[in-house]
């Protein structure tokens, strides 16, 4: 089976989990069902949202993504719903929010689990009534927008813990779709690696480098904590290091170059060691830029700094 036959809805893969994912996209895409995409960081949640949008009657209208992680209550309202001129200090012009930009199309709200209690109430009112008010206005505006949400945290668990509104959860999740982590996708790792090599090499006007059996084995042995995003990053490195020749194991990121022997120890120590490795590798990929590494790992900048200090890691960079 070639790339063309597995690229349904832009979602590459031959494993059963990806086949199931494409069937769900084909089933729920053409409807206005509100889908919540739940998956680990880097599994392609925005790609799933795009596939749902492209399969819908709204495909000719905009797909507007917004990552709400770190939004204050006022920023959330102003960015999502917009504001009138003079609504606050510095509002020199009226501003259409993401909802207005997505009119007739799809609004993709990423990291919805990070919303504050106040922001959750505002989003719930919008979903219930299909209406919103720009900051500084009293008149309600109607919206014809399909909402797709996503997060890498278990919102049902947060509902049970009292950290996320149950009524908002029910409004967001008529259906839940879960893209599989890369470690569970078997030979899809090689299919995706070759795909990224073709795309990245074509962008540089070069032929894609070939993968040796040793490199393939290293790719298949890795656990891919950063999922597809980590694999794409690794292939970008490979394109630079192996330009014009077959890929050697030494061209891969350090974490992929050898399988570490299993060592006896407590589960806590093993998890701590693996956490240190994942964080250190992310920092190296982003040249010590903590904000970028935190975004890849699904953490806040402050949260990553706390882990760095707790694990005694060294950050070389900004």
Q: What is the pLDDT along the chain (318 residues), one digit of tens a residue?
A: 333 333 444 689 999 999 999 999 999 999 999 999 999 999 999 999 999 999 999 999 999 999 998 888 888 888 899 877 655 666 667 788 999 999 999 999 999 999 999 999 999 999 999 998 888 777 889 999 999 999 999 999 999 999 999 999 999 999 999 999 999 999 999 999 999 999 999 888 888 999 989 999 999 999 999 999 999 999 999 998 887 788 999 999 988 886 544 444 566 666 777 788 788 888 877 777 888 888 888 888 888 888 888 877 766 655
| Residue from 22, 12, 44 nearest 194 by CA | 12
Which DSSP letter does residue 10 get?
A: G
- Boundary residue ending a domain (177, 195, 221): 177
| Residue from 151, 162, 233, 153 nearest 196 by CA | 233
- Boundary residue ending a domain (234, 259, 284): 259
Distance CA(80)–CA(102), nearest Å, equals: 10
**Contact in structure between 234 and 281 (CB atoms under 8 Å):** no
Distance CA(305)–CA(286), nearest Å, equals: 15
**Same domain? 156 vs 303:** no
**Same domain? 130 vs 230:** no
pTM listed for this prediction? 0.76
Distance CA(170)–CA(165), nearest Å, equals: 9
**Same domain? 164 vs 221:** no
Residue 224's domain comprises 183-259
**Contact in structure between 48 and 167 (CB atoms under 8 Å):** no
CB atoms within 10 A of CB 184: 11
**Same domain? 105 vs 43:** yes
**Same domain? 11 vs 103:** yes
Distance CA(290)–CA(275), nearest Å, equals: 16
In the chain, the number of structural domains is 3
pLDDT at position 295: 83
Give pLDDT tens digits for 63-112.
999 999 888 888 888 889 987 765 566 666 778 899 999 999 999 999 99
**pLDDT above 70 as % of the chain:** 88
pLDDT at position 167: 97
Q: How far is CA 202 from CA 132, 205, 236, in A?
A: 45, 5, 12
Residue with tokens 């680990």: 40
Q: Which two tokens stand for residue 263?
A: 């060592």
Bridging pattern class, strands 95-96 and 82-83: antiparallel
- Residue 92 burial class via C-beta count within 10 angstroms: exposed 0-12, middle 13-18, buried 19 and up: exposed
- Boundary residue ending a domain (161, 177, 193): 177
| Residue from 240, 289, 38, 44 nearest 159 by CA | 38
**Same domain? 160 vs 15:** yes
**Same domain? 201 vs 74:** no
Q: Which two tokens stand for residue 152?
A: 């890498």
pLDDT at position 264: 47
């Amino acid at each position: 089976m070639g790339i063309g036959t597995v690229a349904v809805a832009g979602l590459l893969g031959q494993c059963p989990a990806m086949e199931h994912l494409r069937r769900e996209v084909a089933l729920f895409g053409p409807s206005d069902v509100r889908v919540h995409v739940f998956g680990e960081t880097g599994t392609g949640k925005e790609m799933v949202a795009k596939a749902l949008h492209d399969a819908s009657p709204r495909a000719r209208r905009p797909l507007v993504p917004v990552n709400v992680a770190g939004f204050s209550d006022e920023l959330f309202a102003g960015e999502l719903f917009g504001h009138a001129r003079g609504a606050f200090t510095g509002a020199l012009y009226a501003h259409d929010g993401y909802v207005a930009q997505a009119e007739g199309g799809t609004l993709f709200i990423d990291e919805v689990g990070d919303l504050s209690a106040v922001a959750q109430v505002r989003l719930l009112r919008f979903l219930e009534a299909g209406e919103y008010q720009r900051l500084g206005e009293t008149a309600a505006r109607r919206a014809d927008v399909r909402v797709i949400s996503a997060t890498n945290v278990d919102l049902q668990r947060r509902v049970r813990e009292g950290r996320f509104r149950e009524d908002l959860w029910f409004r967001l999740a008529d259906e839940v779709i879960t893209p599989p982590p890369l470690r569970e996708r078997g030979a899809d790792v090689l299919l995706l690696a070759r795909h990224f090599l073709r795309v990245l090499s074509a962008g540089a006007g070069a032929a894609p480098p070939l993968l040796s059996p040793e490199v393939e084995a290293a790719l298949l042995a890795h656990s891919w904590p950063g999922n597809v995003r980590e694999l794409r990053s690794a292939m970008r490195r490979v394109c630079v290091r192996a330009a014009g020749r077959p890929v050697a194991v030494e061209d891969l990121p350090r974490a992929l170059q050898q399988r570490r022997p299993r060592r006896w120890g407590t589960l806590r120590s093993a998890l701590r060691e693996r956490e240190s490795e994942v964080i250190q590798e992310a920092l190296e990929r982003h040249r010590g830029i903590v904000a970028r590494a935190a975004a890849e790992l699904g953490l806040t900048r402050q949260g990553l700094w706390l882990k760095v200090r707790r694990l005694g890691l060294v950050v070389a960079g900004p």
